[in-house]
Structure 1
Amino acid sequence: MRERGWEPELELDQYRRIAAVGLIAKTLPLAFVACDILEREQPLTLRGLFYLIVSEGWLPSTDKQHYTRLRKLTVKLREKGVVPFEWFVDHVRATLKLSSWSGLADYVDTVKDAYRKNFWASLSDYVHVFVEKDAMAGVLEPVTRDYDVPLSVIRGNISLSFAYEIAQLWKRFEKPVFAYYFGDHDPSGLDLERDLQAKLRRYGAPDFTWERLGVCPTDFETFNLFPLEPKKTDSRMKRFLAQGYTKCAELDAIPATALRARLERAINEHIPAEEWERLRRIEELERQQWEGVMRKFGKKVAAG
């Protein structure tokens, strides 16, 4: 692997576990590289892992046959316990069920961790993040969850209700609104972004500052992205070419850690460091007080 310019990142025992899975010899280097990248970039999508491996030269192209080969390999690595299932994100499939608890003590443990103080209520800006694809929401969510920032998923089209509800939400804030967008760099991805901004303004959103954080034209060189050809059948092709673009790339192709770091930097521009820490301390005190109240209530109920 070093002969091909790859510097192994895992411990020797980890490579031994991968080798013990029972892969054929020609697949072992691909498995090693995949696990190296997963360890560094998780959580990420399977497509994101695929693009990183192609850009590093360990798969020859983005053809479907190579994606299928990687998919089958990662299934085996997960089922054999080499790769944690949690390292891959999949927000498309979900299980719906109302919350329930085994008793009040169980409920108290849940709600004390669920309490979040709205730090942004006392900050001078409002921040909202948009992402084009559901699967990529799982890549960004660790950051938006930590900073309590709303993350809205486009899912392929801009519905009237979606745009209207967000526009009405923004109208409630008497402060500057900053929107950050993550999407594919292709005719449909850029048009989705344009359409969203237009509908937000049409339905009464106040003035807002908009910034695309990925994929940006400079990302092709920064991350050595594998350029994809725009689909000639796409009706938005003319506008794409008129803007001076010729290359396409999916958001998944950018390393997940780079996307999260980029988003975290953007959010931190709106947060005074000392104020954020002060609010964290207040939140922890309030959480402790709430836990104490709930436990006393539970004891009273149990005592009859």
Structure 2
Amino acid sequence: IKVLQLTDFDPSGEDMVRDLEDRLTRYGAGHFEVEKIALTSEQVRTLGLPPMPAKTSDPRYERFAASYGEEVVELDAIPPDELDRIVTTAITSLMDKDAWNAEIEKAREEREEVQRRIDELLDKLE
């Protein structure tokens, strides 16, 4: 199982992957992998998102500041179309394209069969 996680880019957000992994393990989730897909330091940089000062009261502040500096960014700062692209890309990268396409084709065939039966019933009513 792959868990895709989105968090603020701040001391707590950077710790959430570890925290979620710990919780899933504690509750017996079995085999899984957590991947943070947003908001990363690279995304903050490349998207030019507006920073704010980090809360120095956060117990994770010192570790975060040493690695990334004293500014944080809210996940909400990502433009909706960019967030949609990030999530869609992450999900589609995990999909078995052949299985997906086979299911799409099966659904199309089933719709055609249902329509054929409806047409037959309508013809009998005439």
Q: What TM-score comes out, normalization by structure 1 length?
A: 0.34
1:283 to 91, 107, 114: 107
SS at match of 1:179: strand
Shift, 1:279, TM fit: 0.4
Provide Cα deviations, 1:217-249, integer angstroms capped at 9, x if missing partner: 11122111112110122233233234x122210
The amino acid that maps onto 1:266 is A
One-letter amino acid matched to 2:73? A
- Cα deviation digits, residues 20-65 of structure 1 (max 9, x gap): xxxxxxxxxxxxxxxxxxxxxxxxxxxxxxxxxxxxxxxxxxxxxx
Kindly state the Cα deviation for residue 262 of structure 1 after the two structures are TM-superposed: 1.9
Give distance in 2, aligned partners of 1:241 and 1:281.
51
Decide which structure has greater helix share: 2
| SS of equivalent to 2:53 | coil
Letter in 2 for 1:193: V
Cα distance, 1:274 vs structure 2: 3.6
Indicate whether 1:248 and 2:72 are aligned.
yes
Aligned pair count? Answer: 115
Q: Write the letter of the residue equivalent to 2:68.
A: Y
The Cα of 1:255 is off from its aligned counterpart by 1.8
2:84 maps to which of 253, 257, 260:
260
Provide the aligned C-alpha RMSD in A: 2.4
Which of 61, 68, 72 is the aligned partner of 1:237? 61
CA distance in 2, matches of 1:209, 1:195: 13
The aligned residue for residue 16 of structure 2 is: 192
Tell me which protein shows more strand as a share of its residues. 2
- Separation of aligned partners in 2, 1:186 and 1:285: 49
Tell whether 2:32 aligns with 1:204: no
Structure-to-structure mapping, 1:137-152, within 5 angstroms: none
Aligned structure 1 segments of 4 or more residues deviating by more than 6 angstroms: none
Aligned partner letter, 2:75: L
Q: CA deviation at 1:184?
A: 0.2
Identical pairs, percent = 33
Match of 2:37 in 1: 213
Q: Which residue pairs with 2:2 in the alignment?
A: 178
**Aligned equivalent of 2:124:** none
What is the one-letter code of the residue matched to 2:90? A
CA–CA distance in 1 between the matches of 2:32 and 2:26? 13
Structure 2: tracts of 5 or more residues without a match: 122-126
Answer yes or no: is the 8 Å Cα contact 2:17–2:35 preserved in 1.
Answer: no
- 1:98 aligned residue: none
**Separation in 2 of the partners of 1:196 and 1:224?**
28
Give the distance between the partners of 1:273 and 1:202, measured in 2 at CA: 33
In structure 1, how many angstroms separate the alpha carbons of the residues matched to 2:42 and 2:54?
A: 17
Amino acid in the other structure paired with 2:107:
E
Q: Which has the higher contact order (CA 8 A, sep 6+)?
A: 2
Q: Aligned-pair distance for 1:263?
A: 1.9
Q: Scaled by the length of structure 2, what TM-score is found?
A: 0.75
Query: What are the ranges of 5 or more consecutive residues in structure 1 without an aligned counterpart?
Result: 1-176, 297-304
CA shift for structure 1 position 285: 4.0
